Structure 1
Amino acid sequence: MRWVPLPDSEALAAVMFGSVLLAQVGGDKSLRGIMDGNINEKFVRSQTGRLEFVVEDEQGSQADFIPLFRVQDEQYSVYLDRSGHAAPYRRFTFAADGSAAYEEVTRQSPSP
């Protein structure tokens, strides 16, 4: 289990379990107090027999994580705000499907 920071940002990072990218599913819960030193303690494997994790942060908030390739119709987040100061303008981190990320990039691209 390890963090993979977004380029040029130590605050935003993805979570990898070996070579599998994990996604937080459900609402846009901001998790606090999960650091490099305690990531393996905080991500607890679920008892379902599938590759799933339940995370509880220092304030008792819980979130579920599954491999990104298993995300279907639920909201998800790949890049998490490790600083605990989630900003509402970071809409691209929470999307109903992957198309929202592409739409955001397209809008910000300069015209040829």
Structure 2
Amino acid sequence: MTVAEGPQFEAAKALLERRLVPRALQYLVHTGEADRNVLSACGITEHTVRGLLAQQQVPIGQIVEEAMLACLADAELGTDEDPWEYVDPRMREEKNPLLAHVRSAVVQCTAAACPGE
């Protein structure tokens, strides 16, 4: 069994699927690309963004898995390594594989919910 087939890989993937959308949203606020007050006024939350990503059929699980596999390949890990260590939490936020999708969703949500913004 390879690392990508093991229970640690699947557990890390599930955790990343839950965490990467809110982390991308936090990163956009931190960098000033999204204004926390505007998001709040427009009712844009992690759930709003997830809903739009689902409507757009963004394959979050597939994107996360591909990012993890790329990290594993780059690190040339042995089968006893923990892929989570290489993907998160030390992953640099600008390398979040969902960042571009979340950025686009925030722009769309803001335009729809707060047309004057």
Compute the TM-score of the two structures, normalised by the length of structure 2. Answer: 0.22
- The structure richer in helix per residue is 2
Q: TM-score, normalised by structure 1?
A: 0.23
Q: Which has the higher strand share?
A: 1
If asked which structure has higher relative contact order (CA below 8 Å, sep 6+), I would say 2
Q: Which has the larger radius of gyration?
A: 2
